[in-house]
């Protein structure tokens, strides 16, 4: 290495090391480097154009192999012999762009990493020397990157006749290629024409060539292009099934338009004596076993017809062959002489570029497509830029660890939590049964809710009941029977040891009281099902208290999931590490009510899973909308209540989940919770954030977004208020007995799986009980 | 190859017809076998200072074809004239498609077709 290069490399390493130490990651550093490069490029272009004014918009970038993004761009206003165009549609060249995206052989993309082919839009400004165009003209442009605004040489802009659909005019580059191919084929009247490849280039060039010749066949590897082939007047032959028929074609002209290096061998097979083969598809790699002998024997002529060869000679009218080809294509469209509407493919929201290119790379999407830039907010598509704007060197949003933070005054709509008490209605009067630790929180929640009040309290420890009643202006009743007989109690809230949930809830139901049960619904599934049955038989409702659903971040996450930010959910992760002190096992976290029920399996039903992770299981059901289908678990100890539990979950639809929890992990509490899908990922703990390939209101795709600082809410108040509203409006509780049973069934499945180390299906457990107790069904 | 060791007159004629529209001093013949010598004997010899407009490939080998493509001018003609060539591996995009080359097979088994109007004719 030469000294200068060595010095530069050392300097780069030193700068990178410093940036890494300050929090940059390789990916965010890559983003920073790209933005600086583009920043410099835009300003150099502005200088060369002698037009310092810039426009900004959005464009698609390929940041590295397999990654696409929609990123801010800047372009100069039109300088001499140039035009700036506000883009309506930009056409995708599926074969070329797939190859470039995957960095296949013979498919380089420029140093700026910006794909693009051709587009259509309206002229924003015209530089000096560019005659024949005016602002507002509809033009098709070649050599345009996929972007909402482009600056191109005026001779690459073609005025579009009003009779031409703009989406079709955006195919001008494809049309130019096909015109060139057809010219090279020089089909004579009556000649038989075949095409290898059923992509847009193959079909359009075939249609143009067949204006003189006779359609013979479309040859492809699959039958996907059958409809397009038939509409072109030719049968579709597949290379696997119709080899003999292909050999018998004896075509005078074969257009090879596959992009597959082996496509040429099929073209040679299809060609007849003295035939001409036009090489139109850009083969991505080496052709193996090219039969020179067959080329010789048939006296074939293989004609290289890359679009760049248009620059080797003038066009038929003596001008630029490239320009003339483009104009002729637009004339064919204007005269309705060649059909392309069936090849356009779907309109893609540019914000979905990342997902689109993934589909293209995996052949999920084949055929034509175009980006519809009108789908961007108008004010975002083209706006005034600033030459003095500094480059963005923060590199935020590229990595989970460095998410973008929502600005407090401009929080994206998708990250806005709902008003927790919006539409609160009705009035729910509660009687608290059990006045220990958790009842204090439930009472406080009732007090904070606009439509809930505590009217009565009961606890075997009368001191606890009187304490809580006095705090909330409620009556301290002497027995649960007195509570259940009280006409002013609409619902009872059970904040008692798990083993009492079942008996007390059933008794309350029989007394005609609605029942709220602190999670879990019951000590075990059997009891939970019996509670549910009792509620149904007595015409009251039963709701397990899973208030964490109403945390602001969970509500935001649910909204994102509903908007499709994750696509199809593929997986979930739950981790909870707690260090429960010896005092917890004697009196809970506060010590308000001394009892050792939490350490007894027959009273608590289990350890960290039923006591704590039941919340997480409910949240994953709530957010994903999926049910756990199969559980495979381990737990220690297997006798008594577990300290550690690990489980693998399989959800309906095939998503997988993992759960790991411990109540005896030394050190502070640590929690991780996330779920992910085909198009995004949500991290709820630690530091809630989201990444999505789907456009959501106000969020950039392919960027990590922090949820930022969300308002603190009393989640029990929200739970109780929404419950009160729902029942006052004749709806059942938002969190119903069925939700509690679903969670209980997962817990039961874990506890049955762990000792046997065998898979257990929660639905079979509930099914067993339904069979045993037909009334439940 | 004919029984006498020389190449058929038909192949020679067909090859010569394929390049007849080009100046003989812009046509290169590759290989050093009898066919190459016979074609060179008919005046085909490229001026080494300029890229040939056509190359007549007589080796029938992959390396020979690649070299012929590399030597010929953009938009030029490569005539495949070797007897019994083996199948070859070739990057057609790089060697022919991108540069607008025309590859023409000649066999000499029948009367030559009329010379086509390939891209060079437009120069």
pLDDT beyond 70 at A409: no
Contact B113 A274 (CB under 8 A): yes
Q: Which residue has the tokens 């457990």?
A: A765
Cα(A618)–Cα(A551) distance, rounded to whole angstroms?
Answer: 13
Q: Quick: pLDDT tens for A236-273.
A: 899 888 989 999 999 999 999 988 899 999 999 999 99
Instruction: For residue A312, give every residue at least 6 positions away whose Cβ sits within 8 Å of its Cβ, in sequence order, or none.
Output: B74, B75, B100, B119
Contact A304 B116 (CB under 8 A): no
Q: What is the mean pLDDT of residues A642-657?
A: 96
Mean pLDDT lowest for which of A308-312, A561-565, A735-739?
A308-312
Q: Which residues of B touch A261 (CB under 8 A)?
A: 91-93
Contact A284 B74 (CB under 8 A): no
User: Residue A773: what pLDDT?
Assistant: 53
Contact B60 A303 (CB under 8 A): no
Q: How far does A100 lie from chain B, in Å, by closest CA?
A: 15
Percentage of chain B with pLDDT > 70?
A: 80
Q: Which residues of A touch B74 (CB under 8 A)?
A: 309, 312
Q: Do β-strands A149-153 and A452-458 pair in parallel, antiparallel, or remain unpaired?
A: unpaired
Q: Which two tokens stand for residue A611?
A: 């006591």
Contact A305 B100 (CB under 8 A): yes
Cβ atoms A42, A389 nearer than 8 A: no
Q: Which residues of A touch B96 (CB under 8 A)?
A: 279, 302, 304
Cα(A703)–Cα(A353) distance, rounded to whole angstroms?
Answer: 13
User: Residue A148: what pLDDT?
Assistant: 97
Contact B60 A295 (CB under 8 A): no
Cα(B47)–Cα(A288) distance, rounded to whole angstroms?
Answer: 33
Name which residue leads in pLDDT, A324 or A312: A324
Cβ atoms B30, B57 nearer than 8 A: yes
Cα(A629)–Cα(A102) distance, rounded to whole angstroms?
Answer: 37
Q: Quick: pLDDT tens for A659-671.
A: 999 999 998 789 9
- B29 beta partners: B56
Cβ atoms A262, A271 nearer than 8 A: no
Contact B91 A106 (CB under 8 A): yes
Q: Which two tokens stand for residue B74?
A: 């953009």
Name which residue leads in pLDDT, B83 or A715: A715
User: Residue A660: what pLDDT?
Assistant: 98
Cβ atoms A399, A28 nearer than 8 A: yes
Mean pLDDT lowest for which of A182-186, A455-459, A716-720?
A182-186
Q: Which two tokens stand for residue A243?
A: 């080899």
Q: Quick: pLDDT tens for A224-234.
A: 777 878 888 88
Q: What is the mean pLDDT of residues A521-542?
A: 96
SS3 category, A64: strand
Mean pLDDT lowest for which of A67-71, A461-465, A628-632?
A67-71
Q: Which residues of B touch A106 (CB under 8 A)?
A: 91, 93-94, 98
User: Residue A94: what pLDDT?
Assistant: 86
pLDDT band at A776 (very low <50, low <70, confident <90, very high): very low
Cα(B105)–Cα(A292) distance, rounded to whole angstroms?
Answer: 8
Q: How far does B119 lie from chain A, in Å, by closest CA?
A: 8
Q: Which two tokens stand for residue A470?
A: 């006095």
Q: How far does A16 lie from chain B, in Å, by closest CA?
A: 37
User: Residue A319: what pLDDT?
Assistant: 86
Q: Which of B100, B108, B118 to mutate to test the interface with A (most CBs of A within 10 A)?
A: B100
DSSP strand E in A354-401: where?
Answer: 369-372, 383-384
Cis status, amide bond into A637, omega within 30 of 0: yes
Q: Which of A304, A312, A319 to mutate to test the interface with B (most CBs of B within 10 A)?
A: A304
Find, in chain A, the residue whose alpha carbon is nearest to that of B65.
Answer: A292
CA atoms within 13 A on the CB side of A748: 26
Name which residue leads in pLDDT, A695 or A444: A444
pLDDT beyond 60 at A340: yes
Q: Quick: pLDDT tens for B35-76.
A: 899 998 888 887 777 899 999 999 988 899 999 999 999 999
Instruction: For residue A728, give every residue at least 6 positions away whose Cβ sits within 8 Å of its Cβ, in sequence order, or none.
Output: A425, A426, A427, A428, A451
Q: Quick: pLDDT tens for A456-511.
A: 999 999 999 999 999 999 999 999 999 999 999 999 999 999 999 999 999 999 99
Cα(A726)–Cα(A543) distance, rounded to whole angstroms?
Answer: 12
Percentage of chain A with pLDDT > 70?
A: 98
User: Residue A103: what pLDDT?
Assistant: 82
Contact A293 B118 (CB under 8 A): no
Q: Tell me, yes or no, if B82 comes closer than 8 A to chain A by beta carbon.
A: yes
**Which of A283, A286, A313 is closest, CB to CB, to B89?**
A286
Let me know if A772 is exposed, middle or buried by CB neighbors in 10 A (0-12, 13-18, 19+): exposed
Beta-carbon pairs below 8 A across chains A and B: 126
User: Residue B115: what pLDDT?
Assistant: 47
User: Residue A736: what pLDDT?
Assistant: 95
User: Residue A139: what pLDDT?
Assistant: 98
Q: Tell me, yes or no, if B60 comes closer than 8 A to chain A by beta carbon.
A: yes
Cα(A438)–Cα(A429) distance, rounded to whole angstroms?
Answer: 18
Name which residue leads in pLDDT, A648 or A211: A648
Q: Tell me, yes or no, if B88 comes closer than 8 A to chain A by beta carbon.
A: yes
Contact A283 B92 (CB under 8 A): yes
Cα(A72)–Cα(A467) distance, rounded to whole angstroms?
Answer: 60
Q: Quick: pLDDT tens for A415-472.
A: 889 999 999 999 999 999 999 989 999 999 999 999 999 999 999 999 999 999 999 9
Cα(A642)–Cα(A753) distance, rounded to whole angstroms?
Answer: 13
Characterise A303 by phi-psi region: left (phi > 0), alpha (psi -120 to 50), beta (else): beta
Check residue B64 and report its DSSP letter. H
Q: Supply the mean pLDDT for chain A.
A: 91
Cα(A474)–Cα(A457) distance, rounded to whole angstroms?
Answer: 7
Q: How far does A296 lie from chain B, in Å, by closest CA?
A: 4
Q: Which residues of B touch A105 (CB under 8 A)?
A: 91
Contact B88 A289 (CB under 8 A): yes
Buried b (16+ CB within 10 A) or exposed e, A397-407: bbbeebbbebe
Among A672, A657, A649, CA closest to A578: A672
**Which of A287, A299, A305 is closest, CB to CB, to B90?**
A287
Instruction: For residue A269, give every residue at least 6 positions away whose Cβ sits within 8 Å of its Cβ, in sequence order, or none.
Output: A243, A246, A247, A294
pLDDT band at A385 (very low <50, low <70, confident <90, very high): confident
Q: What is the mean pLDDT of residues A583-605?
A: 84
Let me know if A584 is exposed, middle or buried by CB neighbors in 10 A (0-12, 13-18, 19+): middle
Percentage of chain A with pLDDT > 90?
A: 64
Tell me which residues of chain A have a C-beta less than 8 Å from any C-beta of chain B.
Answer: 105-106, 184, 186, 261, 264, 274, 276, 279, 282-306, 308-309, 312-314
Q: What is the mean pLDDT of residues A74-81?
A: 89
Contact A292 B99 (CB under 8 A): no
Name which residue leads in pLDDT, B122 or A77: A77
Q: Which residues of A touch B109 (CB under 8 A)?
A: 297
Contact B106 A106 (CB under 8 A): no
**Which of A279, A292, A296 is closest, CB to CB, to B96?**
A279
In this prediction the ipTM stands at: 0.89
Distance of CA A197 to the CA centre of its chain: 32
Contact B103 A298 (CB under 8 A): no
Contact B102 A301 (CB under 8 A): yes
| Segment (H or E) for A536 | helix A525-538
Contact B87 A292 (CB under 8 A): yes
Contact B96 A286 (CB under 8 A): no
Find, in chain A, the residue whose alpha carbon is nearest to that of B105.
Answer: A296
User: Residue B7: what pLDDT?
Assistant: 58
Q: Tell me, yes or no, if B118 comes closer than 8 A to chain A by beta carbon.
A: yes
**Which of A184, A286, A309 is closest, CB to CB, to B91?**
A286
Find, in chain B, the residue whose alpha carbon is nearest to that of A276.
Answer: B104
Among A647, A674, A685, A592, CA closest to A762: A647
Q: What is the mean pLDDT of residues A540-546?
A: 97
Buried b (16+ CB within 10 A) or exposed e, A60-98: bbbbeeebbbbbbbbbbbbbeebbbbbbbbbbbbbbbbb
Name which residue leads in pLDDT, B32 or B104: B104
Contact A296 B85 (CB under 8 A): yes
Q: Which residues of A touch B93 (CB under 8 A)?
A: 106, 261, 282-284, 306
Among A699, A57, A692, A36, CA closest to A394: A36
Contact A293 B65 (CB under 8 A): no
Contact B80 A292 (CB under 8 A): yes
Cα(A665)–Cα(A674) distance, rounded to whole angstroms?
Answer: 21
**Which of A291, A293, A302 is closest, CB to CB, to B103?**
A302
């Amino acid at each position: 290495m030469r000294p200068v290069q060595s010095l530069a490399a050392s300097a780069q390493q030193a700068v990178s090391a410093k940036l890494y130490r300050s929090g940059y990651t390789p990916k965010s550093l890559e983003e920073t480097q790209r933005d600086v490069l583009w920043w410099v490029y835009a300003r150099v272009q502005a200088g060369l154009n002698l037009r310092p004014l810039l426009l900004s918009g959005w464009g698609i970038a390929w940041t590295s192999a397999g990654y696409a993004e929609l990123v801010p761009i800047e372009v100069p206003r039109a300088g001499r012999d140039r035009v700036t165009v506000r883009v309506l549609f930009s056409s995708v060249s599926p074969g070329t762009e797939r190859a470039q995206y995957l960095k296949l052989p013979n498919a380089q993309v420029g140093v700026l990493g910006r794909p693009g082919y051709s587009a259509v839009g309206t002229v924003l400004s015209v530089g000096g020397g560019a005659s024949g165009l005016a602002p507002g003209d509809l033009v098709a442009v070649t050599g345009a990157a996929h972007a909402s605004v482009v600056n191109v040489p005026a001779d690459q802009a073609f005025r579009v006749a009003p009779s031409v659909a703009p989406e079709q005019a955006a195919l001008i580059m494809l049309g130019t290629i096909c015109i060139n191919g057809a010219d090279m084929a020089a089909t004579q009247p009556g000649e038989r024409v075949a095409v290898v490849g059923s992509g847009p280039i193959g079909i359009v060039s075939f249609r143009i060539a067949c204006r003189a010749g006779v359609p013979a066949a479309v040859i492809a590897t699959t039958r996907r292009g059958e409809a397009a082939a038939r509409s072109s007047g030719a049968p579709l032959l597949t290379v696997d099934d119709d080899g003999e028929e292909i050999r018998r074609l004896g075509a005078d002209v074969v257009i090879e338009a596959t992009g597959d290096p082996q496509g040429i061998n099929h073209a040679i097979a299809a060609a007849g004596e003295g035939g001409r083969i036009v090489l139109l598809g850009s083969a991505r790699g080496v052709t193996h076993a090219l039969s020179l002998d067959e080329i010789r024997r048939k006296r074939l002529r293989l004609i290289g017809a890359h679009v760049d060869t248009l620059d080797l000679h003038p066009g038929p009218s003596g001008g630029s062959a490239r320009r003339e080809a483009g104009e002729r294509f637009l004339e064919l469209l204007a005269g309705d002489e060649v059909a392309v509407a069936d090849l356009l493919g779907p309109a893609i929201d540019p914000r979905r570029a990342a997902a689109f290119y993934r589909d293209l790379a995996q052949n999920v999407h084949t055929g034509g497509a175009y980006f519809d830039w009108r789908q961007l907010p108008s004010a975002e598509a083209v706006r005034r830029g600033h030459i003095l704007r500094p480059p963005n060197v923060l590199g935020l949003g590229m990595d989970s660890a460095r998410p973008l933070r929502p600005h407090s005054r401009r929080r994206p709509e998708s990250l806005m939590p709902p008003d927790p008490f919006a539409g609160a209605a009705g009035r729910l009067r509660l009687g608290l049964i059990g006045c220990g630790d958790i009842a204090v929180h439930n009472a406080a929640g009732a007090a904070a809710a606009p439509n809930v009040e505590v009217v009565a309290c009961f606890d075997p420890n009368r001191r606890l009941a009187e304490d809580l009643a006095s705090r909330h202006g409620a009556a301290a009743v002497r027995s649960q029977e007195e509570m259940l007989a009280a006409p002013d109690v609409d619902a009872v809230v059970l904040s008692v040891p798990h083993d009492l949930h079942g008996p007390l809830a059933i008794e309350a139901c029989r007394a005609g009281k609605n029942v709220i049960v602190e999670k879990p619904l019951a000590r075990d599934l059997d009891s939970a099902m019996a509670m549910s049955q009792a509620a149904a038989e007595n015409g009251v409702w039963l709701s397990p208290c899973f208030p964490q659903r109403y945390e602001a971040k969970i509500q935001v996450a649910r909204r994102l999931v509903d908007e499709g930010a994750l696509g199809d959910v593929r997986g979930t992760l739950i981790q909870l590490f707690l260090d429960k002190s010896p005092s917890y096992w004697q009196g809970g976290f506060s010590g308000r009510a001394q009892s050792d029920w939490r350490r007894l399996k027959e009273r608590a039903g289990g350890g960290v899973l039923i006591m704590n992770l039941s919340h997480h299981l409910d949240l994953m059901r709530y957010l994903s909308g999926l049910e756990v289908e199969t559980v495979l678990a381990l737990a220690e100890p297997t006798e008594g209540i577990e300290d550690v539990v690990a489980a693998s979950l399989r959800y309906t639809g095939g998503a997988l989940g993992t759960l790991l929890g411990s109540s005896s992990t030394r050190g502070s509490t640590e929690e991780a919770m996330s779920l992910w899908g085909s198009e995004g990922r949500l991290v709820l703990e630690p530091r809630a954030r989201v990444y999505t390939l789907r456009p959501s209101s106000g969020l950039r795709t392919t960027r990590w977004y922090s949820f930022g600082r969300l308002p603190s809410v009393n989640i029990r108040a929200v739970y109780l208020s929404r419950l009160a509203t729902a029942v006052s409006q004749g709806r059942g509780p938002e969190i119903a007995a069925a939700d509690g049973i679903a969670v209980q069934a997962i817990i039961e499945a874990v506890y049955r799986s762990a000792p046997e180390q065998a898979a257990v299906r929660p639905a079979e457990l509930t099914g067993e009980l339904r069979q045993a107790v037909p009334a439940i069904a | 190859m004919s029984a006498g060791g020389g190449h058929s007159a038909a192949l020679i004629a067909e090859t010569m017809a394929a390049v007849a529209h080009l100046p003989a001093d812009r046509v290169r013949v590759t290989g050093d076998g009898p066919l190459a010598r016979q074609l060179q004997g008919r005046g085909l010899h490229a001026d080494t200072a300029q890229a040939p407009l056509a190359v007549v490939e007589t080796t029938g080998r992959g390396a020979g074809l690649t070299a012929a493509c590399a030597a010929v001018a953009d938009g030029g003609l490569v005539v495949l004239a070797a007897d019994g060539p083996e199948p070859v591996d070739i990057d057609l995009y790089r060697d022919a498609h991108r540069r607008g080359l025309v590859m023409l097979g000649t066999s000499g088994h029948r009367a030559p077709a009329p010379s086509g109007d390939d891209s060079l004719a437009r120069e």
